């Protein structure tokens, strides 16, 4: 019996599912589009999409499966759900940050951003979690306080706050 990922996040787009999936796949190693499903004439009175247009795009990012759905303009992304990208280096943080905010994305605070499609992402250095879990009184607080002033997270600044606490 074939193995499968039991829980697959489905990302709802108006009509940009294929463009978004291709963009996301371009950002990550070990990423690929695996299947594109197209609308048929069935249900057109409900979905309103042209027969033959893209309905879903199944894709993988670092081994994690996702589905992008062209569901129409009824629902929009919000910050209630985001995708976290854990980064080992500042170079990774910088690369993901700049690529995800380019062409209409929006920076937010503490490593959060929205890409040009409105999907929220958190670009998180692994070092941040490690420092926030330090049992030494004051160290985690100093790191959190520093992080709260940042848009894109700066690992060197976090380490400076950690060392000075």
The per-residue pLDDT string of the chain (165 residues; one tens digit each, 9 = 90 and over) reads: 667 889 999 999 999 999 999 999 999 999 999 999 999 989 888 888 999 999 999 999 999 999 999 999 999 999 999 999 999 999 999 999 999 999 999 999 999 999 999 999 999 999 999 999 999 979 999 999 999 999 999 999 999 999 999
Domains of the chain: residue spans and CATH: 1-75 (3.10.180.10), 77-165 (3.10.180.10)
Give dist(CA 120, CA 76) in Å, integer: 11
How many other C-beta atoms are found inside a 10 Å radius of the C-beta of residue 82? 17
Give dist(CA 69, CA 90) in Å, integer: 33
CA 69 to chain centre: 16
Say what the pTM is.
Answer: 0.92
């Amino acid at each position: 019996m074939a193995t499968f990922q039991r829980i697959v996040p489905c990302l709802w787009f108006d009509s940009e599912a294929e463009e978004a999936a291709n963009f996301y796949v371009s950002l990550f190693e070990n990423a690929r589009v695996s299947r594109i499903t197209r609308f048929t004439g069935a249900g057109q009175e409900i979905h309103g999409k042209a027969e033959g247009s893209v309905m879903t795009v199944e894709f993988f990012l670092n081994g994690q499966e996702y589905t992008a759905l062209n569901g129409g303009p009824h629902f929009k992304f919000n910050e209630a759900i985001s995708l976290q990208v854990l980064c080992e280096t500042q170079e990774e943080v910088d690369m993901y940050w700049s690529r995800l905010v380019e062409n209409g994305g929006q920076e937010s605070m503490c490593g959060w951003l929205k890409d040009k499609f409105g999907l929220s992402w958190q670009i998180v250095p692994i070092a941040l979690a490690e420092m926030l879990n330090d049992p030494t009184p004051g160290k985690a607080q100093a790191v959190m306080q520093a992080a709260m002033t940042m848009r894109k997270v700066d690992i060197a600044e976090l380490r400076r706050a950690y060392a000075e606490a």
